[in-house]
Structure 1
Amino acid sequence: MAGASSDTRPGQRDLTSGPIASTLLAFALPTLGSNVLQSLNGSINAIWVGRFLGEDALAATSNANIIMFLMFGAVFGFGMAATILVGQSFGRRDVESARRAFGSAIGLVLAASIVVGALGWIFAPQILRLLATPPGAFDLALIYLRVIFAGLPAQMALVLMFMGLRGTGDSLTPLWFMGVSVLLDAGLNPVLILGLGPAPAMGIAGSATATLIAGVVAVAALAAYIHFRDLPLRLKGAELRYILPEAKLTRTIVSKGLPIGAQMLVISVAGLAMVGLVNRLGVHTTAGYGVTLQMWAYVQMPALAIGAAVSAMTAQNIGAGRWDRVGRITGAGLLFNFVLTGAAVAIMLVFDRQILGLFVGHDSPALPIAEHINALATWGFILFGGTMVLFGVVRANGAVWGPLIILFVSMFPVRLGLAIGLQPWLGTDALWWSFPIGSAANVIGAALYYRYGPWRTGTVAIPGGDGNANTAVEPAGTLKPAT
């Protein structure tokens, strides 16, 4: 039976009423804080590894982290599909359907991540060879990668719980528990790398083990918090059966989740192909590129936070039948992306030497390479942010194939095609120019799909729930493109 109450719990926001811009910003800022903490954690760990274990170890973690993003993409789509269902259910005030979607997603993601983690452990050497991992970094990358694979189920469960909470309008709780994970991971890194106190000296395996421990502790603590605070997505008593995915609900999640996961895989494969091209340029270029990726993680954080907030807000409004607000949500998201991502790009361009020097030291031969990559490519993340907003809006109504096709074209024929095809004229600069050019192609495709694509028709309903309540298709001509 659908829950009818609209009462909010600690950290929750009603995303279907009130001023759009201020509500969106207030919802997005904690998500941005979570993303910054996550990136800060990766950067701190890279600093520990780079300073204590050297450039070979840093190159090893760079290769391993790209692979983990690939594995993450294999199961991430299920979580995103569940978030859409949770958001639209909450817009309809159908709490029961939200819990069913969340439970099925938990069961699917845990099963998938266990399988992927086991396969990753087994085939880690072959994956690293496909990447042309430099010989000096291969053994270190293998050790690091296998421990990270072991921690994949806990990491994926934590991400899914964060996504589900945001679907209910709660972006504060994920921020606090991301803080718990970061404090544990960053604090344990030097202890386990160097063997401080009673801990054994584990080298690069210590960095990965710290991440594993932090993920397990954080996910257990968050599950306990959701249960004892009686948050809307809590599952207890007879509701625990929802973790065993229902057949019809599973088909809905998989039909939407696979294309979303495929988008992550497209990004990952393109990233792996780029790493393969970079690795052939030597360990200094690989390290410089790895350092630049660390910095780019910060630059893209505002765009990712705003895109997630726009998606959650749009899903709730579609569920509530408030199509009149969707265009204004899109416009506010694009404006906030331009301001916040533009500010992040400006900071990284002005203070690049100081920031990049944190990772490798100011006398490292990798530093000028990283500075050069930053100068040519970082500005393209403003365009990337526009894509995240537009994709977030259309995905909130279950449109997943259009974004996948657009992303594939921008990543492969455009980005990688230019990176390889322009090398006779631009040399290695062709690799770095391919990033902003690919982002331009992506945002143009996203804008055309938002304006002319069929994403406004239909809605995503949970089988057996109150999926038809307040979810009428947008009346023709009432939703205008954002300006």
Structure 2
Amino acid sequence: MAKTLDLTNGPIARKLLLFALPLLGASLIQQLYTTVDILFVSNYLGTGASAAVGASVLLNSALVNLFTGISIGAGVVIAQAFGRKEEVQLSKSIHTSMMLGLIGGVLLTIIGEFSGSAFLNAVKTPASIFQDALDYVQVFFLGLTFMLVFNMAAGVMRALGNSQTPMLIQLVCGIIHVVTNFLFIKYMSNGILAVAWSSVLSQVLSAIIAVYYLLHDGVMSIPKLAVDRPLMREIIRIGLPAGLQGVVVTLSNVFVQYFINGFDVVAIAAFTAYYRIELLFYMPLVALGQAMMTFTGQNVGARLYGRVKSGLRTTLIFGVGYSLVLAAVLLYFGRETFGVFYTDPAVIDMGVTIIWISFPFYFFYVFLEVFADTLRGGGLSDVPMYIVLFNQCLLRTVILFGFMQLAHDIRLLVAVYPITWGTAGAMLYWYYRKGTWMMRPPV
């Protein structure tokens, strides 16, 4: 295990940054070739094809988010075993996780293949794009097993402190995906299937490379693949709440979009650009949270609770400092930033209004992300789920309804975001301060 990073000793700030930067790089790579996908579909295949792909996004995201949560649970269990230096338990955790990835992928593929048509009918997919959307969904789910195996393998590597290799695999397969996207669209008669098969190919390659790496590095052995039931229950106990949180938050965003759509086209366009710009905040903070989750897992496993607290303080300083500096830069260059996306002065004006309400308070989100991931790293996943769902789904929706009754004002809609970031962060901080979550017995 040459590239593992032991986070239980050494300089905290340096190790957290070394671990977090490849996580950020992986997120940027994923975002870039997702954007390329959109560009290929919209520019080469037209609006109908783009709509057909878009019709399936919610189903794809919901199922992938669910199993991404399971991989989070696996990562925590593996990180804690690594921190305790329990080689036998570590090996069992890794092999159980990989088997769960394989079994879960096969099950979700079957579910997706049989539920695709029903889902597209349920969301009232127009008849004109229904068959194209169904074709895309059915091919997409053929690659889902490979996607989940890669996600689990990447989770294993990160839990052992190796965040570089998953990023490099994503980079290589992302380039292959872009190239095959172009070639398949050019030479296949059905453009939708071309895009779908290109995605499947990149998923297959990423899974093969990741599994080969684990085998070659001695982390995994095919004969040892088996499900240890106590470990499986622990992985699901930690991972399922995180997965359900991702699914429900994804679905709840539909309600927010409902309110946005109640304004004019200018507001909708401004929010479309805002969500792209917001990624400059969101992705680095998610990377910091993921780094803190692994850091916590390893150090809770080693019973180094003081080091967990020091790591948390360091991560919060990084996150808050980054958020405040970036907010200042983007607010100063607000018009130029939105000008990258639109030339319409009305859209730019609306965009600047949005960021002046949101970005100065984005540091609230740091507390939400970092405290939630710290608790998960300690093996506690249900409480962060309840807190995040209460604030991001229920409270946010209630406040939105109330604000929109007071006045149909875009500024009130935007204000809901920092309010619920703040309330969620405060509740997570309160639970973190109780301290009892760190004393859970090992698996």
1:155 to 121, 143, 147: 147
SS in 2 for 1:46: helix
- Name the CA distance, whole Å, in 1 between partners of 2:136 and 2:352: 27
Q: Who is 2:202 aligned against?
A: 214
Q: Who is 2:377 aligned against?
A: 396
Report the CA distance shift for 1:442/1:127 in structure 2 as closer, same or farther (over 3 A): farther
Q: CA deviation at 1:128?
A: 4.1
Q: CA deviation at 1:82?
A: 1.2
- Name the CA distance, whole Å, in 2 between partners of 1:454 and 1:63: 44
Q: Who is 2:386 aligned against?
A: 405
Question: Residues 296-311 of structure 1: matches in 2 within 5 Å?
Answer: 296-311=278-293
1:253 to 230, 235, 245: 235
- Name the CA distance, whole Å, in 2 between partners of 1:427 and 1:445: 29
1:229 aligned onto 2:221:
no
State the Cα deviation string for residues 65-123 of structure 1 (Å, max 9, x = none): 34322111222222111111111111122233122112212222322232223323333
- Name the CA distance, whole Å, in 2 between partners of 1:173 and 1:84: 19
Report the CA distance shift for 1:17/1:66 in structure 2 as closer, same or farther (over 3 A): same
State the Cα deviation string for residues 157-208 of structure 1 (Å, max 9, x = none): 1111111111111111111111112112222223333x1xxx2143344333
SS in 2 for 1:398: coil
- Name the CA distance, whole Å, in 2 between partners of 1:139 and 1:427: 39
SS in 1 for 2:8: coil
Q: Who is 1:466 aligned against?
A: none
Question: Residues 63-78 of structure 1: matches in 2 within 5 Å?
Answer: 64-78=56-70
2:213 partner letter: Y
SS in 1 for 2:230: helix
| Conservation of the 8 A alpha-carbon contact between 1:134 and 1:283 | no
2:430 partner letter: L
- Name the CA distance, whole Å, in 2 between partners of 1:279 and 1:60: 20
1:419 partner letter: L
| Conservation of the 8 A alpha-carbon contact between 1:39 and 1:294 | no
Number of residues paired by the alignment? 442
Larger helix percent: 2
State the Cα deviation string for residues 122-155 of structure 1 (Å, max 9, x = none): 3334434554667877665444444333322211
Q: Who is 2:296 aligned against?
A: 314
Report the CA distance shift for 1:127/1:421 in structure 2 as closer, same or farther (over 3 A): farther
Report the CA distance shift for 1:54/1:175 in structure 2 as closer, same or farther (over 3 A): same
- Name the CA distance, whole Å, in 2 between partners of 1:380 and 1:61: 34
SS in 1 for 2:4: coil
2:437 to 450, 455, 460: 455
1:169 aligned onto 2:151:
no
- Structure 1 gap ranges (5+): 1-8, 462-483
Report the CA distance shift for 1:267/1:17 in structure 2 as closer, same or farther (over 3 A): same
| Conservation of the 8 A alpha-carbon contact between 2:154 and 2:210 | no
| Conservation of the 8 A alpha-carbon contact between 1:47 and 1:358 | no
Q: Who is 1:470 aligned against?
A: none
Q: Who is 1:471 aligned against?
A: none
Q: Who is 2:39 aligned against?
A: 47
- Name the CA distance, whole Å, in 2 between partners of 1:34 and 1:377: 26
| Conservation of the 8 A alpha-carbon contact between 1:303 and 1:386 | no
State the Cα deviation string for residues 274-293 of structure 1 (Å, max 9, x = none): 34555677999777655544
| Conservation of the 8 A alpha-carbon contact between 2:285 and 2:366 | yes
- Name the CA distance, whole Å, in 2 between partners of 1:387 and 1:100: 32
1:29 aligned onto 2:26:
no
| Conservation of the 8 A alpha-carbon contact between 2:174 and 2:202 | yes
Q: CA deviation at 1:266?
A: 2.4
1:98 aligned onto 2:90:
yes
Between stretches 435-444 and 201-210, larger displacement belongs to: 201-210
When the two structures are superposed, what TM-score results if normalisation uses the length of structure 2? 0.87
RMSD of aligned alpha carbons: 3.3
Between stretches 199-208 and 124-133, larger displacement belongs to: 124-133
Between stretches 346-355 and 33-42, larger displacement belongs to: 346-355
| Conservation of the 8 A alpha-carbon contact between 1:131 and 1:276 | no
- Name the CA distance, whole Å, in 2 between partners of 1:145 and 1:376: 38
- Structure 2 gap ranges (5+): none
Report the CA distance shift for 1:223/1:333 in structure 2 as closer, same or farther (over 3 A): same
